[in-house]
Amino acid sequence: MRAPGDDKRRATAAAGFTLLEVLLAIAIFALVAAMGYGAYTATLANVAAVEGDSRDIARGATLLSRMADELGAAVLGPEASLHGIEARYEKGRRDEVLFLCRAPLEVDGGNVAAGGPVLVGYRGEVEGDEGLLTLYRTEQLVLPGDSGQPATEVRHLLAKGVRELRFSYQRIDGTMTSAWPAGGGGEGRQDDGLLPRAVRAELVFAADVEGAAPRRFTLLALLPAEARR
């Protein structure tokens, strides 16, 4: 025997979900999807930041190690030469350094022919739509003879996406200067000798993720002591 109202309840159940129940389910699904998408995008941003950090750490360590090795092999004696140029652009510093090196490192098998001292340079040039620096290493073989003029420049691309390239030079009294004129003696101080005691290099990479801090690498390279006498 059926209880009163059983047929009505069975008819309601067979009819499916009400509109209110469907709308509530859609709202819950949308909320969960939004939370999941936010977590997903945050994870991707963190992964990109970690990958960018790892890449820049490797690039920064390699570049600064190269600079230190070549500065440590600077030409000694009266032929020693270093020229440090301070330059600026919209985003900061893009300095340049040129020096005579007796043992330049090989870059991609494209170095100039051996046979004499090489004028090695590091500089940043503004390139690309973002207006950041591309870091180049240059070298020119110094031709023998009275002229002592360098040959044609060979240029090697080292890194892109550089925000700043800074050099500073340590005088004989331990103070630092942002430029070093060819012929020695920062800011006209001839008692400093042909070469500074040390060169400080600072390399800053632009952040890959918006809002993240730029990655900064520094180096203090000591120059050969004989050249400072």
Chain centroid offset of residue 152 CA: 27
What is the identity of the amino acid at 61? A
Rounded to an integer, the average pLDDT of 38-66 is: 64
Quick one: pLDDT at residue 46? 55
Question: Is 47 a residue whose pLDDT tops 60?
Answer: no
Query: Which range scores top for mean pLDDT: 17-26, 58-67, 91-100, 190-199?
Result: 91-100
Quick one: pLDDT at residue 146? 47
Question: Is 228 a residue whose pLDDT tops 50?
Answer: no
Question: Is 145 a residue whose pLDDT tops 60?
Answer: no
Going by C-beta distance under 8 Å and a sequence separation of 6 or more, which residues neighbour residue 212?
49
Provide φ and ψ at 201, rounded to 5°: -115, 140
Q: How many helices and strands, by DSSP H and E, does the chain display? A: 2, 10
Instruction: Look at the alpha carbons of 103, 104, 105, 106 in this order and tell me if their dihedral is positive or negative.
Output: negative
Nearest C-alpha neighbor of 91 from the set 128, 54, 63, 122: 128
Q: How confident is the model at residue 82 (pLDDT cuts 50, 70, 90)?
A: very high
Q: 162 with 136: CB under 8 angstroms?
A: no
Rounded to an integer, the average pLDDT of 72-77 is: 84
Q: 200 with 189: CB under 8 angstroms?
A: no
Q: 116 with 145: CB under 8 angstroms?
A: no
Residue 8 tokens, joined: 């009505």
Whole-structure pTM value: 0.69
Going by C-beta distance under 8 Å and a sequence separation of 6 or more, which residues neighbour residue 61?
217
The total of other beta-carbon atoms located within 10 Å of residue 226's CB is 11
Quick one: pLDDT at residue 227? 46
Mean pLDDT score across all residues of the chain: 77
Question: Is 143 a residue whose pLDDT tops 80?
Answer: no
pLDDT digit string, tens, across residues 88-125: 999 999 999 999 988 887 766 555 555 568 899 999 99
Q: 159 with 63: CB under 8 angstroms?
A: yes
pLDDT digit string, tens, across residues 57-68: 676 778 888 888
Bridge partners for 168 per DSSP: 200
Question: Is 8 a residue whose pLDDT tops 60?
Answer: no
Nearest C-alpha neighbor of 95 from the set 127, 55, 135: 135
For residues 142, 148, 151, 153, the Cα torsion angle rounded to the nearest 10 degrees is 70
Percent of the residues in the chain that have a pLDDT greater than 90, as a whole number: 24
Nearest C-alpha neighbor of 169 from the set 185, 152, 188, 151: 185
Instruction: Look at the alpha carbons of 153, 158, 163, 168 in this order and tell me if their dihedral is positive or negative.
Output: negative
